[in-house]
Amino acid sequence: MTGTLHRLRALPLRTRLALLVAVAVAVAVAAVAAACWFVTRVQLEQQMDASLRSSKVDNIYLRTLYNYCQGTSPLPPPPFTGYTVQLIDSQGTVCIAPKAVAMHVSPADIAVAEGRQRDALHSAKNADGEKMRVYTYAPVQIIPVPGGTTGSIAVSIARPMSEIDDPLSTLAWVLLAVSGIGVGGAGAAGLWVARTGLRPVDELTEAVEHVARTEDLTVRIPVEGEDEIARLSRSFNSMTASLASSRDRQAQLIADAGHELRTPLTSLRTNIELLARSDDTGRAIPPDDRRALMNSVKAQMTELASLIGDLQELARPDAANPGPLQVIALHDIADTALERARLRGPELTIRADLTPWYVRAEPAALERAVVNVLDNAVKFSPPHGTIEVALRNGELAVRDHGPGIPAEELPHVFERFWRSPSARQLPGSGLGLSIVARTVQQAGGTVTLRPAAGNGTEALIRLPGAPQPPPGL
């Protein structure tokens, strides 16, 4: 059984479907044919039994037949053709016309002859072994015996069962032929249906193999209808579109990262070559110039380390779990970020109004996102400017009084490596706001930038949560 199932699984799907259809039709046809055959048999037997019951022999013929068997009368002509008639007494003695084949006497026949049973209907074989259908009944007292009484006697009328078996045999062969044709036609129809129904699957298979062979993600499958195959085709098209978009973003990320890395690496290489040339030629660099070169090298290395950290953060898949989510106090996160912002812009005035708000997020990622927003505010604030920070009902607002962002540049602020023309001379990689947007979205919130009233920019971070921590925290 296991080997048969293994061999079936090795067959193509369309062949298995065709076989399944053929087997199902074969079972159905066999059941219908068997039911038809048995119903026909029952009907024919009932008709024969009714015919035997209604074909009682005339009493004159029976008396003549009895006298013939006693040797006192010539043989009478048969009452009707197609029947075998014999007389049976209570001792089981049979009286039958010449050339007729006697039938075996059953106990039911003797019981009718003895008067213990009115009639009997059964099947029996004659002396030649032919199967007969026999009806035995007790006639009205017509047989005289010495003493002036009538003897106990029964009459058996029989017809050959071949009258039923022959048509049934013919019907069986006809049903078998029709069933064979039906099963063969069902198998062919099943194969055609399987080929037609699986054509979209073949197209999908070819498309998948083409993608695997060529890595061409532009392949699309035509979608027709609303069935499962259409859903599968749409899902495949969506998958290839997503993969193509992901590959494009990856290529863009690599290109942008290479471009951003080139500037600090070039500057770093130039400074190091100047220091090396000074050592090789023995020409000392003035202490102030050397100190400036070393500070530049340190600044470039710091920028490279920051850029690499941002790239590692963005390299994580968007759908991946960034870390264990915890219920944390957003106001505490914001307060910690404010302390770092004050260190980076000691000449700035930072005003904060933080009300309690608890959210579910990754603490380190959320803190980095808030720090990035405050860093942008510090970077673009004018000397001795003011930064206003407020947290109310889950909305963290950070407003600076810098030059602001033009309306046409706002749609691009969360793109990777994007920096406005006015910010290209400032330190940074252009990845900070991308990391902010990603972190906030993973926490179920939203982040937007908009022009502030008067001048400057306002960043709004909205996170779902509650003003009170959950019980047991």
pLDDT for res 59: 76
Q: Are residues 135 and 157 in the same domain?
A: yes
Q: What confidence score (pLDDT) does residue 232 get?
A: 77
Cα end-to-end span (Å), the chain = 59
Higher pLDDT, 271 or 87: 87
Residue ending a domain, choose from 286, 315, 344: 315
Question: Is 52 among the domain residues?
Answer: no
pTM for this entry: 0.45
pLDDT tens by residue, 52-103: 888 777 777 777 787 888 777 776 666 666 788 888 888 888 888 777 888 8
What are the Cα distances from residue 443, in Å, to 322, 336, 362, 382, 438? 10, 19, 8, 32, 9
For residue 385, the enclosing domain spans: 326-466
HSE value, Cβ hemisphere, 13 Å, CA-based, for 398: 25
Q: How far apart are CA 31 and CA 48, in angstroms?
A: 26
**Structure-model confidence comparison of residues 167 and 67, the more confident one:** 167
Tens-digit pLDDT profile for residues 371-393 = 888 888 888 888 888 999 999 98
Residue 79 has a pLDDT of: 62
In a domain, 433, yes or no: yes
Tell whether 87 is covered by a domain.
Answer: yes
Q: Is the pLDDT of residue 148 over 50?
A: no
State whether the Cα torsion 375-380-384-385 is positive or negative.
Answer: negative
* CB proximity list for 86: less than 8 A, separation 6 or greater: 94, 95, 96, 100, 102, 103, 155, 156, 158
For 180-197, the pLDDT digits (tens) are 888 888 778 777 777 776
- pLDDT, mean of residues 256-274: 72
140 vs 119, which has greater pLDDT? Answer: 119
- 4 vs 355 pLDDT, higher one: 355
335 and 455 assigned to the same domain: yes
Q: Is the pLDDT of residue 115 over 70?
A: yes
Give the residue from 433, 430, 431 showing the smallest Cα distance to 441.
433
Give the CATH number of the domain where residue 427 resides.
3.30.565.10
Q: What's the chain's Rg over C-alpha atoms? A: 52
Phi-psi region of 298 (alpha: psi -120 to 50; beta: other; left: phi over 0): alpha
Q: What is the DSSP string of 340-351?
A: HHHHH-TTSEEE
Q: What is the CATH number of the domain that holds 87?
A: 3.30.450
133 and 250, same domain (yes or no): no
Phi, psi of 155 (to 5 degrees): -115, 130
- State how far the Cα of 455 lies from the Cα of 300, in Å rounded to an integer: 32
Would you say residue 396 has pLDDT above 90? yes
- Given a contact cutoff of 8 angstroms between Cβ atoms, the answer to whether 315 and 254 are in contact is no
Based on DSSP, count helices (H) and strands (E) in the chain, helices before strands.
11, 15
391 strand-pairing partners: 354, 396
Between the CA of residue 99 and those of 10, 72, 76, 293, 319, what are the distances in Å?
67, 19, 13, 138, 99
Comparing CA positions, the residue from 368, 362, 384 lying closest to residue 334 is 368
pLDDT, residue 6, reads: 55
Residues 257 and 358 in one domain: no
Query: Do 252 and 352 share a domain, yes or no?
Result: no
Averaged pLDDT, 140-161: 65
Distance CA 389, CA 338 (A): 9
The whole-angstrom separation of Cα 375 and Cα 395 is 18
**Average pLDDT, integer, range 143-153:** 51
Residues 308 and 344 in one domain: no
**Amino acid symbol at 392:** R
pLDDT greater than 50 at residue 320: no
Tell me, yes or no, whether 61 lies in a domain.
no
Residues 266 and 232 in one domain: yes
Cα gap 398→390, rounded to integer Å: 7
Q: What percent of the chain has pLDDT over 90?
A: 8
Q: Is the pLDDT of residue 323 over 80?
A: no
pLDDT of residue 462: 93
In whole angstroms, give the CA distance from residue 333 to residue 177.
Answer: 85
Give bridge partners of residue 399 from the DSSP assignment.
388, 458
Report the CATH number at residue 252.
1.10.287.130
Domain boundary among 276, 294, 315: 315
Q: Is residue 455 part of a domain?
A: yes
Q: Which residue has the higher pLDDT, 149 or 417?
A: 417
Do residue 462 and residue 342 come from a single domain?
yes
Cβ atoms of residues 443 and 321 within 8 Å: no
pLDDT band with cut points at 50, 70 and 90 for residue 150: very low
Looking at the domain assignment, is residue 201 inside a domain?
Answer: no
User: Could you tell me how far CA 467 lies from the centroid of its own chain?
Assistant: 44
Alpha carbon distance 326, 160 (integer Å): 93
Residues 267 and 330 in one domain: no
Question: How large is the average pLDDT for residues 421-427?
Answer: 51
One domain, residues 306 and 333:
no
* Residues 6 or more apart in contact with residue 281 via CB below 8 angstroms: none
**Residue 250 and residue 311 in one domain:** yes
User: Considering only CA atoms, which of 400, 310, 385 is closest in space to residue 349?
Assistant: 385
Among 45-49, 111-115, 188-192, 382-386, the range scoring the smallest mean pLDDT is 188-192
pLDDT at 145: 44
- Pick from 77-86, 281-290, 346-355, 362-371 the range whose average pLDDT is largest: 346-355
Q: What is the pLDDT of residue 14?
A: 67
What is the distance between the alpha carbons of residues 125 and 131, in angstroms, rounded to a whole number? 4
Q: What is the pLDDT of residue 399?
A: 92
- In a shared domain, residues 330 and 459: yes
The total number of structural domains that make up the chain: 3
Rounded Cα distance, 193 and 188, in Å: 9
Q: Which residue has the tokens 């066999």?
A: 30
CA 158, 162, 165, 167 dihedral sign is negative
Please say which residue of 255, 281, 315 terminates a domain: 315
**Residue 64 covered by a domain:** no
pLDDT score for 38: 92
Average pLDDT over every residue of 145-157: 63
Mean pLDDT of 311-315: 64
Residue 29 pLDDT exceeds 90: no
Mean pLDDT of the chain: 78
Q: Residue 26 falls within a domain, yes or no?
A: no
Q: Which of these ranges, 259-273, 331-345, 356-370, 423-437, has the smallest mean pLDDT?
A: 423-437
